Structure 1
């Protein structure tokens, strides 16, 4: 199938209409389609229109929703979040919606790379932007969704797994473990904010000249303990989704204590507040405990995705790595076998 044929007919009509609004576009229907790598929930395409000056292209982004996403989150809620971010100029503008996806403004900034997350200056910018994100006043109840989502995903994973897979991943024992984890982690990290929940480098953009950070892709965003969101970001530092083996994680790259302390200090001091050493250390420790929940979250996600998502990614191997880390960290951090 040609790349352009992967864009639905309804979306092509919308793109032609958008292209016609720019006077310098040579032919609104003669747009070019470039697939963007790194996305694992949706297919994402950059759309380019050649212009009459031959130097500048007009661009938008097309996002085609991945298969089975309704098992992970409520699409209507995600669209409302996207519209909120668009309306308040905190993210790309929504340019159009079609049955299986949407068209977004193309942000003229670059997506971060895995190595950018380790740059102390960039990391501090991310920390401050994340604190701003956590302070968003979104509609709906300000209650965490983490545990209900994990229970829902566990049930879905059991429905799709073969008996052999369920045995390999100890799925039958996870329900009791979830209750234990919720009880233990509820003792810490009680600051609730609107969390991104998927802060990998591909969902962070930077405008190099102004050093402005934009967080994108809000599919999994919800209210949760902010310590969980920090933990999830730290866990994402072990991944490189643009390598030859994008599913392989290097847990030796998990940030050390000093690196995590720098991030948390920048996070807490983003509004001019000077946190004490004790406050920094407390949030670092809470985030470290929530890495257990992050590994379980994405482990279950990988198992389900293997059965419902057609994107070319080794979902089951990814799940296997995350759930192995879940068990190692659960034993170390929470004192259970």
Structure 2
């Protein structure tokens, strides 16, 4: 079971860790070599995002011999405030639950191994985990049948994982979403914002998405749609493609579980197909410069998904 370990570290007022800070944090869990590393020899890349701050840390190779501990690690700091929308707060994992889920996922061999959870003297929480030699998946990657199949199998495996999270009714998710959509239906303020930008969005604002969504959910229920642990935020930035793989090993790893909840599997599968057309962190355009998922590719994806689901649930 994962436990929270106090570390003798206090961050500065700007909360940006120093090289000594990260050396001391990592050395608490990797005690053979990291603990004695000269902090000034470390290479560190720190990023503060709207969800969680994180950093990559690398130490030099030993002058002699083969290292007994990894040379690179990833540290994620668990901020008190996250990106979770207000309507999802009763349903989405807490920061503690999300961190525990990452630990459980890592123990399956499917995700990054978590070395430990920590709490600094000033109360900052975080975790130290394996650095993934991987890159974010690009939309064009799923045009490769091998990668596409690995994503399908990865999703099917995640959907049936045994987790410590409480299973909350799927209906609660759709109740929150449909009520939220109802608040914006025919809202004059939204129409005015569109006009200020020189774009008419009146038809979008007047469309009853909540009723359409209810029809879809009712259809899934009457046809016996299967549910599972859905990631929900299945954008391609949350799928990592490994640089090197062993024979029989998946080329992809799923990351970021802030919105994991029970839902119909179709939510993640359809979301994956849709997300191929977007690059959310592109500075010039959010629209990906590639073609849509073809029907044959969707069929192949679903075949691979079903084969893995059946393998794990029968």
Paired residue secondary structure (1:170):
helix
- The answer to whether residue 153 in structure 2 is matched with residue 143 in structure 1 is no
Tell me the distance in 1 between the aligned counterparts of 2:209 and 2:289. Answer: 23
Aligned residue number for residue 134 of structure 1: 159
- Measured on the aligned residues, the alpha-carbon RMSD in Å equals 4.0
- The answer to whether residue 117 in structure 2 is matched with residue 96 in structure 1 is yes
Aligned residue number for residue 56 of structure 2: 46
Is 2:19–2:40's contact at 8 Å kept on the other side of the alignment?
A: no
Is 1:127–1:263's contact at 8 Å kept on the other side of the alignment?
A: yes
Aligned length: 266
Tell me the distance in 1 between the aligned counterparts of 2:136 and 2:61. Answer: 28
TM-score (structure 1 length as normaliser): 0.63
Aligned residue number for residue 330 of structure 1: none
Tell me the distance in 2 between the aligned counterparts of 1:6 and 1:45. Answer: 15
Paired residue secondary structure (1:248):
coil
Tell me the distance in 2 between the aligned counterparts of 1:34 and 1:162. Answer: 42
Superposed, which structure 2 residues align to 1:21-36 within 5 Å?
Answer: 21-23=31-33, 26-28=37-39, 31-35=42-46
Deviations 1:4-25 (A, max 9, x none): 9965459974642424724266
TM-score (structure 2 length as normaliser): 0.67
Q: 5+ unaligned residues in a row in structure 2: which ranges?
A: 1-11, 195-200
Is 2:235–2:272's contact at 8 Å kept on the other side of the alignment?
A: yes
Paired residue secondary structure (1:77):
helix
Structure 1 position 259, deviation (Å): 0.6
Tell me the distance in 2 between the aligned counterparts of 1:13 and 1:156. Answer: 46
Tell me the distance in 2 between the aligned counterparts of 1:93 and 1:234. Answer: 28
Equivalent of 2:103 in 83, 89, 109: 83
Q: 5+ unaligned residues in a row in structure 1: which ranges?
A: 274-337
Structure 1 position 268, deviation (Å): 1.2
Is 1:19–1:49's contact at 8 Å kept on the other side of the alignment?
A: no
Structure 1 position 79, deviation (Å): 2.8
Larger Rg: 2
Equivalent of 1:236 in 248, 267, 275: 275
Tell me the distance in 1 between the aligned counterparts of 2:27 and 2:63. Answer: 15
More helix by share: 1
Paired residue secondary structure (1:269):
helix
Tell me the distance in 2 between the aligned counterparts of 1:153 and 1:97. Answer: 36
Is 1:124–1:263's contact at 8 Å kept on the other side of the alignment?
A: yes
Deviations 1:65-114 (A, max 9, x none): 57542435342432332232234443223322445552331334313431
Is 1:131–1:267's contact at 8 Å kept on the other side of the alignment?
A: yes
Structure 1 position 63, deviation (Å): 2.5
Mark the CA change 1:43 to 1:268 in structure 2 (over 3 Å): closer, same or farther.
same
- The answer to whether residue 74 in structure 2 is matched with residue 61 in structure 1 is yes
Is 1:189–1:226's contact at 8 Å kept on the other side of the alignment?
A: no
Aligned residue number for residue 294 of structure 2: 256
Structure 1 position 257, deviation (Å): 0.6
